[in-house]
Every structure is written in C-alpha cells, then in structure tokens.
Structure 1
Amino acid sequence: MFLRCLLVPTAPGLDPTRRLDAGLRLSRRLHAHIGVGFIAPGPETVLAALAGTAPVSSATIAAIKEGMRAAAADGKAALQAWCAREGVPFMPAVDRLDATFATWTEWSGEVERMLTLAGRVADLVIVDRPDPAQPFTGRALDTALFSVGRPALMVGEVVPHDLLEHVVVAWNGSLEGTRLVGQSIALLHAASRVTVVQARTDRAEEARAADLCAYLRWHGIVAHASNLTVGEGTSVGAAILDAAGRMDATLLALGAYTHSRVREFLLGGVTRQVIETARMPVLMAH
C-alpha cells in the first residue's frame, strides 16, 4: 500500500502552515501529494448562528456569500505563496503518480459532512491539535478520528524536519492500535527508525511489544521493543509522551480512544492526555 493522498482541511481564519509543513515533509519521503480542502459554512449555517441578532434579508445572505468568497480567495493566495516559498508545484498537470504537489478545493457546508466525504478518498488527514479558541480544530480532529476511517495526523507546536526519522508506536494490542498499524505500514516502512513502546499495565502479558516487532519484520520493518514502567501517580499517557521525548521521537503513533470518549472525559485516559499535551506530531486511528 502506498500513501499518495494527504488531506489538509482548513477553514476561514485558520493558518494551515504547520500542517502544510508536516504534509510536505511526509510527502517528500512518501512521494505523495497534498490536497488542501477549504471548508466554509454555508449561508444557512451562518444565519442560524446569527438568529435573533441580525435581520435576515437577501442583502445579508449576499454579504455572507461574499465574505466566504473573500476568505476562500485569501486562503488560496496564502497556499500559493507557501508553494512558491517551498518550491511545491501548485495545481500542475500531473503525469506521475508519485509526484509531490499541492491542490486546492473549496467546499461549503458542515465540517463533519464535508471532511468525512473528502477524508474517505484520502490516505491521511492532517489536523491541528484542538484549540478551544478555534472550534474548527476540535471538530476536524473528532471527524477525522470517528467518521473518516483513515489515520489522522495531529500536528502540535513542533514540526520536526523529518517526521519519519524516529517513529515511536505505543502498543497495547487494542483494536484501534491494530487498525493504525495496518493502515500505516507504508509510513512505518519509510521510517528511518521504529520503536514499539509498551506500558506495563494489566494487559502487558497478552499484548507484547516483541510480538508486534516480529510482525513488522515480515513487512521489512526493523522495529525495536521497549517496555515502559509507569510510576505511581503518573498517567500512562504522560509516561508515553515522556518516553517518546527521551527517545527523541519525531512522531508518536497510537490507537485512539480504546475506551469510550465519555469514560476518557470523566476519568481521564491515554488519548485525552496525549491530545491535550503532545507537542510532537501524533498519528492516530480509532
């Protein structure tokens, strides 16, 4: 399996530069292209948000549409400027499947529906770590994890020069972790170094890091196993992030929400801890 199609969803007022940088650094290793999808709310969504605060008229609707067109034009111009700086062809006539270039597409509608449809015909969705000040970021991550069915790459504050220099896989034998590994074989194969980390929990004996390393070897991936002892009073998520940092990981990979989201919200959990505090890029699948 090849990873050829990387999707970067964005919206009015968002700066996708970090995600574009991450996508480009992956693309140059994976020979993939970057599809930027601009998702703007339709007039009906904006009007619903303005209900009771402004009169609805044809002029109001026209103003909303014009505002969205202007935001899309600004976003497209910013992408073209980024492509010029990075030497990335923009909307070229493609005659090679393994070429790196960028495309621009505009959609109007709800984030969840638009991103679900677009993400299902991509190999990887690249999103920001959720920012409470930007509701789109949280909605995009939730949609990528729970609706798309493809791996999601969450980009934090730090974008390493080479995301595939050292990939650390957090393994617990879960269904979600298994899906992530199966969908990311091509990415792991391209990595310079892979380490499988297993936290010592009550599942440590039934799902061993060494077993995953042996499986990966059949795919030509040389991975090293590392057992992680979680200290008393330390969450598993914090321990994994700390270990990944000490190993100079450039990318952390883990199955997301192996417990229900409600349970993680109420009691805490690995996924929630990682999403809230990770500074490095995190590859996830549910």
Structure 2
Amino acid sequence: MYLRCLLVPTAPGLDATRRLDAALRLCRRLNAHIGVAFMAPGPAEVLAGIASLGPIDGLAISAIARGVREAAAEGEAALRAWCAREGVPLTSRPERLDSTFASWTEHTGEVEPLLTLAGRVNDLVIVDRPDPEEPFTGRALDTALFSVGRPTLMIGQSVPADLLSHVVIAWNGSLEATRLIGQSITLLHEAGRVTVVHAETGRRTEMRAADLSAYLRWHGIVAESMALPVPEGMSVGAAILGAAEAQGASMLALGAYTHSRVRELLLGGVTRHVIENARMPVLMGH
C-alpha cells in the first residue's frame, strides 16, 4: 500500500513541531502530503463539561466560540511559520499530487469521531506519546489505534534525522502485527536496514512457522532476523526496547495490544511498556 497522505492531528495549545518534522522526513522519501487537522471542542462540548457549574448565558457561549477561533488562528500561524522555515508549500490545491506539501483543516467537536473519520481517509496517523498533562495526546493515540484502521506513528521527545535508516520489527505472528506489516510495506521498502526481532516466549514455535523475513524477501525487502532471549524478571516490552536501542533503531514497529487493553492496563504488557518508555518513534497497528 502506498503511503501518500500523512495525517497530523493537533489541538489548541499543542506544539506540533516534532510530529511535523517526522512527517516531513517521511514525506520527502515518499512524495507524500502532510494533512494537519486542528481539532477543538465546540461550544456544545465545552458547555457539557461545565454544565454543573451553573447557568450559561449567551456571552459565555460567544466567548467559548471566540476562544476556539483564536486557538485555530494561532495553530494555523504556527504551521505557516514551520512551512516557511522548511520550504514546504501550504496549499489545498497543489500543482502536483506526487510532491510534498501541507494542508490545514479545522474541525470542532469530540476528538474521537473527528479523528476516526479523518484518519480513515489517510494512510498514516502521526501522534505524540501520551502526556498526562495534555489529555488530547492520549485520546488521539487511543483513537488512532482502536478506531481508525490505519498505521499509527507515535513520536517521542526526539525525531531521528532519518526515521527509516533502521527499522526494527517486533514480530510475534499476531493478527495485529500481520495487519501492520501489510499496511507498511511501502515504509519498509524505503528503510535502509530492517531487522526482525523474535522474542523467545511460549509462542516461539508459531513465530517460526510464520517466517516474516522470508515473506519480506518476496516483496524485495532483505531483513535480518534475530532471536531475542528474555531474561528472567524482565518484561518482553523491556527486552524489545532494549534490543532496538542496542541495534541503533531509528523506528520500532509492532502490533499493538495483542492482549486486550484492559488486561494490559491491569497486568502490564508489551504495548503499554513501549508506549510509556519508548524514546524512538514507534509504528503501531491494532
């Protein structure tokens, strides 16, 4: 599948620079488009959250609407400044579709339905690692993973100069990992190096039967394969992250929430550990 449309959702007060930088570095390899979608709660959503505080008059509603407009204007101005610095055209009518450009759209309402609909008409959703002080970041990641049906790229505190210099794939033969590989073949084709990591767990036999490296060769991708022992007392997530860092990975790819999300929240799990601790960009699919 070609990746031509990369979606960067953002919200009032959020700095999208890291996500834009990551999107641009991918776009220049893929001749893709960066779609920046500004999502803010409208008056109805804000009022629903403060209804218990007492009656709301027309002036308050007008103030809420004005605040949303001002936040959107600030977000668009920040995007224009970033585009000017990076030499990226900001337009809704590009001269060529096989070129890198950015576009800006504004949406009001709840994050989940807005991002679900926007994400489904894009090829990749780029989000921040969840920050407890920024509720939008957690809601965006959850929605991208569970509702959109497209790969999700989570960006941490830094963005490698080349996100595709070395992609490490955490392979466990799961349905989630299989979907991610199928949707990300284009990215893997562009990678300078690909390593498939098999964590040595109880599913090791199943993973041998599903030889991902052999499959990738049929698609012109030469991947190294590495068995990863998991020391006693270490979680699989920690072992995978440690191996990826030791290998100098520029990106980690894994199927997300092979077990239920509730189970991972209660008992821990690979996805939860990676989301909470990864410093490198993480490509995920559910």
TM-score bracket, shorter-length normalisation: over 0.9
1-structure distance, mates of 2:245, 2:196: 14
The CA deviation string for residues 38-82 of structure 1, in whole angstroms up to 9 with x for no partner, is 001010111112223354111111110000000000000000000
Runs of at least 4 residues of structure 1 off by over 4 A?
none
Partner of 2:106: 106
1:210 CA displacement: 7.8
Q: CA distance change for structure 1 residues 128 and 250 in 2, over 3 Å: closer, same or farther?
A: same
Q: CA distance change for structure 1 residues 13 and 54 in 2, over 3 Å: closer, same or farther?
A: farther
1:186 CA displacement: 0.5
Aligned residue runs from structure 1 range 172-187, under 5 A: 172-187=172-187
2-structure distance, mates of 1:209, 1:16: 42
Partner of 1:53: 53
Q: Unpaired runs of 5+ in structure 2?
A: none
TM-score by length of 1: 0.98
2-structure distance, mates of 1:66, 1:31: 37
- Contact 2:164 2:191 (C-alpha < 8 Å) held by counterparts: yes
Partner of 2:224: 224
1-structure distance, mates of 2:54, 2:106: 27
Partner of 1:281: 281
TM-score by length of 2: 0.98
Aligned residue-pair number: 286
2-structure distance, mates of 1:227, 1:45: 49
Which amino acid counterpart does residue 13 of structure 1 have in structure 2?
G
Farther off after superposition, 210-219 or 87-96: 87-96
1-structure distance, mates of 2:142, 2:208: 29
1:209 CA displacement: 8.8
Partner of 1:235: 235
Aligned residue runs from structure 1 range 66-85, under 5 A: 66-85=66-85
Partner of 2:20: 20
Which amino acid counterpart does residue 272 of structure 1 have in structure 2?
R
Farther off after superposition, 38-47 or 201-210: 201-210
SS in 2 for 1:173: coil
1-structure distance, mates of 2:27, 2:208: 32
Partner of 1:167: 167
1:14 CA displacement: 0.5
Partner of 1:131: 131
Partner of 1:86: 86
1-structure distance, mates of 2:174, 2:229: 19
1-structure distance, mates of 2:273, 2:100: 34
1:15 CA displacement: 0.5
Identity, % of aligned pairs?
72
1:90 CA displacement: 0.7
SS in 1 for 2:79: helix
Partner of 1:36: 36
Q: Unpaired runs of 5+ in structure 1?
A: none
* TM-align CA RMSD: 1.1
- Contact 1:210 1:225 (C-alpha < 8 Å) held by counterparts: no
1:95 CA displacement: 2.9
- Contact 1:38 1:105 (C-alpha < 8 Å) held by counterparts: yes
Partner of 1:253: 253
Partner of 2:194: 194
2-structure distance, mates of 1:101, 1:268: 40
Partner of 2:145: 145
SS in 1 for 2:27: helix
